[in-house]
Amino acid sequence: MQSKYKVGLLRLNLLLAALLPALLAPASASLTEALLLWLAAGWLAVSALLVEFSHRRPALVPWQLLPSLLLTALLLTAPERFPLWLWAWAGLVMLPQPAWMSALNLLLAGLGWGWLARGMAPEQALLSGALLAGLLLLGLLRSRDLAPLRGAARRRVHLVPGMRLWPRAQLARDLARERARSQRDGVHGELVLLRTGRRRFWPQAQRLCELTRRFEHCYRLDGRTLAALLLSRDAEQAARRRADLLGRLGPVQRLRATPLAQVVSVSDECRALEQQPGSTRFPEEAGHG
Amino acid sequence: MGDTVHARIHALLYALAALLLLGQAGWHYLAGEYTRILLPAMLTPVVLTAALMRLGQPETARLSAYLVLVTGYLLVAMELPGPSSLAPFWLGLPPMLTLLLLPLGSAMLLNLTLTPIWLLLADAWLTPDLVLGYLALVVVAGLAPWEILHQRALLKATDPMDEECDAMRRSALHDRLQSECERAELLGQRLAVLLIHLPQLEMAREQFGSGAHRALLSALCDTVARCSRDHDLLGREGDADFWLVLPDTSESGALLVRQRLELALQRRVLLDTGQLEARLSVCCLRPGEEPASFVRRLQTRAPHAT
């Protein structure tokens, strides 16, 4: 598939990028410099291992912040060795990032420039500062390109390409519609919540998507809770399907099934899942409790 | 809207760069370095032209990036062989400028081909360390636009909605249509699809620009949303072709929807294109029909034949 191929190329590029600082490290003048270069190489290599074509692991802020801090430290410790890396700030600013991080990057870029400018003639310092500001602005424009796309889309995207797994926000919207629809069609619909371990979450999510029918959507509520909207002809078939599902899904920590007509809200259901005494709770028992 | 704002900011930046060049020429004049005045003075009108071109059509805008790029290259190339100890510092500017102004593929190609030239120009300072540093800058900085492309491709693959309007993308539409077919089969329900074709759409973009194009699209999506039920699905099959999937709807029901929608669409009058024209036709899932063959039937159905 084309997207897979592109991720492979990106990974290769990241590994190549990791190799270069690693080659630079042995010639360092001081231990800190060598350490910083190794850190940069390590960051790029680990990024290469983590990169994938899905929303499963959104980039964490500390992880994104590290290259900015590394570049600042390198410019401060070895300004005579890597003066040309000052221009790399335009690239760092280009990355998709929250606004406060852009501001921080601009600040750090200014700091780096100020440090290098001490050794320059005033007119050269001024010229380089103006040019750097221009490049940073160009980079910022590139990063803002993506921002409107991301904001609105985040809540409605499915999380992995090709997998019918949706974010929690989508469930709240689907719930009301499915309730009305199944009531009108005379179908027994129920919301099933599953609690799994963090480690087994993604394999079980995949399995759940495979085991449900195409028109039954699955959702990721948080790092270890899955939900599915199951539709069956009647309560009896629903119970059979649930048992079948549970058997083929492997062990889950907690399970709760509620007919759609009785579901008040997603957060109520999640709380009930948390507080229920047994590990599984089916609609038949709900009346007694 | 975002595009024009970007174009204006770019043009403003280029104009400021022209001012900077003029300032540089003036500085050389004041310092008495008369031989160095010529280049910045000559490049000033070039960059000013680029600023004006950036505001024009997309092709000329792309050309303006190359003009600015060449200007930057020439200035750095003049600076590098000099006696100044700043040569390694200026070496980092051209590859970054390339990455910022050009799309990733051409930028990387240009950067790698020009590498020997830049390094030879900075001959006096050439060490293996500098070569590695330069290569590291080129490769690492190239990762930033790549990440942008990656994120965009990912959004495109996972966002079910179309970029331009409030309808589903083609891939998501086919997915949902197939699942609705299965659901109809399982529950013994009927399923109808309303095919909508907008004949004015192409003309709207060519004659009135992207604003009119977007207005037409949003008028259609709006009207459809008001005339259909909560679980009806509107998707964009082609550029000007839309499918409205109507679950649990018989042929007569679909004809009724079509009539209602036609009336509502006729009442929409837009600023540029006038009355909204749309051609609608109805296609129903036959009992026992495979989803794939239903999709094929929908696709071969000429959208303008009513």
**For the segment B91-104, what is each residue's pLDDT rounded down to a tens digit?**
899 999 999 999 98
> Which candidate, A21, A42, A150, A147, places its Cα nearest to that of A88?
A21
CA distance A223 to A35: 35
Residues 159-188 of B with CB under 8 A from A: 159-161, 163, 175, 178-180, 182-183, 186-187
| pLDDT for A108 | 95
Contact A138 B152 (CB under 8 A): no
| pLDDT for B2 | 64
Tell whether B36 and B174 lie within a shared domain: no
Kindly give, in sequence order, each residue whose CB lies less than 8 Å from that of residue B188, ignoring residues fewer than 6 positions away: none
CA distance A227 to A269: 10
Tell whether B294 and B174 lie within a shared domain: yes
Question: Looking at A153, A187, A216, which one is the last position of a domain?
Answer: A153
Question: Looking at B129, B158, B187, which one is the last position of a domain?
Answer: B158
Mean pLDDT of chain B: 88
Tell whether A125 and A189 lie within a shared domain: no
| pLDDT, greater one: A278 or A192 | A192
Residue A279 has pLDDT above 60, yes or no: yes
Tell whether A6 and A138 lie within a shared domain: yes
Q: What are the tens digits of pLDDT across the range A118-135?
A: 888 888 899 999 999 999
- The total domain count for chain B is 2
Q: Give the DSSP letter of residue B82.
A: S
Across B292-303, average pLDDT: 84
Residue B112 has pLDDT above 70, yes or no: yes
**Domain coverage including residue A228:** 165-286
CB distance A100 to A108 below 8 Å: no
Q: What are the tens digits of pLDDT across the range B30-47?
A: 988 888 888 999 999 999
Contact B150 A157 (CB under 8 A): no
| Residue A231 Cα distances to A22, A244, B56, angstroms | 56, 14, 56
Across B175-200, average pLDDT: 89
Question: Looking at A153, A173, A202, which one is the last position of a domain?
Answer: A153
Question: Looking at B119, B138, B158, which one is the last position of a domain?
Answer: B158
CA distance A106 to A89: 8
**Domain coverage including residue B45:** 2-158
Tell whether A214 and A258 lie within a shared domain: yes
| Residue B156 Cα distances to A110, A133, A159, A231, B232, angstroms | 35, 32, 12, 29, 23
Contact B96 A10 (CB under 8 A): no
Tell whether B198 and B66 lie within a shared domain: no
Question: Looking at A109, A128, A153, which one is the last position of a domain?
Answer: A153
Chain A residue with minimum CA distance to B157: A161
The predicted model scores a pTM of 0.82
Contact B89 A123 (CB under 8 A): no
Contact B151 A17 (CB under 8 A): no
CB distance B243 to B294 below 8 Å: no
Q: What are the tens digits of pLDDT across the range B53-82?
A: 998 887 888 899 999 999 999 988 888 776
Q: What are the tens digits of pLDDT across the range B229-243?
A: 888 999 999 888 999
Across A139-167, average pLDDT: 77
Per CB-CB distance under 8 Å, the chain B contacts of A173 are: none
Which of A7, A82, A87, A173 to mutate against chain B (most B CBs within 10 Å)? A87
Residue A53 has pLDDT above 60, yes or no: yes
Across A11-31, average pLDDT: 91
Kindly state whether residue A200 falls inside one of the protein's structural domains.
Answer: yes
Q: Which residues of A154-186 are buried (b: 16+ CB within 10 A; e: fewer)?
A: eeebbbbbebbbbbbebbeebbeebbebbeebe
Across B1-9, average pLDDT: 78
Contact A135 B153 (CB under 8 A): no
Contact A17 B139 (CB under 8 A): yes
CA distance A117 to A129: 8
Contact B89 A83 (CB under 8 A): yes
Question: Looking at B124, B158, B192, which one is the last position of a domain?
Answer: B158
- The total domain count for chain A is 2
Residues 200-219 of B with CB under 8 A from A: none
| pLDDT for A288 | 39
| pLDDT for A152 | 64
Chain B residue with minimum CA distance to A19: B136
Q: Give the DSSP letter of residue B270.
A: E
The CATH number for A282's domain is: 3.30.70.270
Tell whether B222 and B153 lie within a shared domain: no
Per CB-CB distance under 8 Å, the chain B contacts of A81 are: 129, 133
Kindly state whether residue A160 falls inside one of the protein's structural domains.
Answer: no
* Amino acid (1-letter code) at residue B261: L
Tell whether A85 and A207 lie within a shared domain: no
**Span of A104-113, B116-125, B279-288 with lowest mean pLDDT:** B116-125
| Residue A232 Cα distances to A182, A207, A262, B187, B282, angstroms | 9, 19, 16, 9, 29
Gap from B77 CA to chain A (nearest CA, Å): 15
pLDDT range class, residue A286, cuts 50, 70, 90: very low
Phi-psi region of B249 (alpha: psi -120 to 50; beta: other; left: phi over 0): beta
Tell whether B255 and B189 lie within a shared domain: yes
| pLDDT for B26 | 92
Kindly state whether residue B15 falls inside one of the protein's structural domains.
Answer: yes
Kindly state whether residue B209 falls inside one of the protein's structural domains.
Answer: yes
CA distance A56 to A206: 12
Tell whether B111 and B195 lie within a shared domain: no
ipTM rounded to 2 decimals? 0.82
Tell whether B90 and B197 lie within a shared domain: no
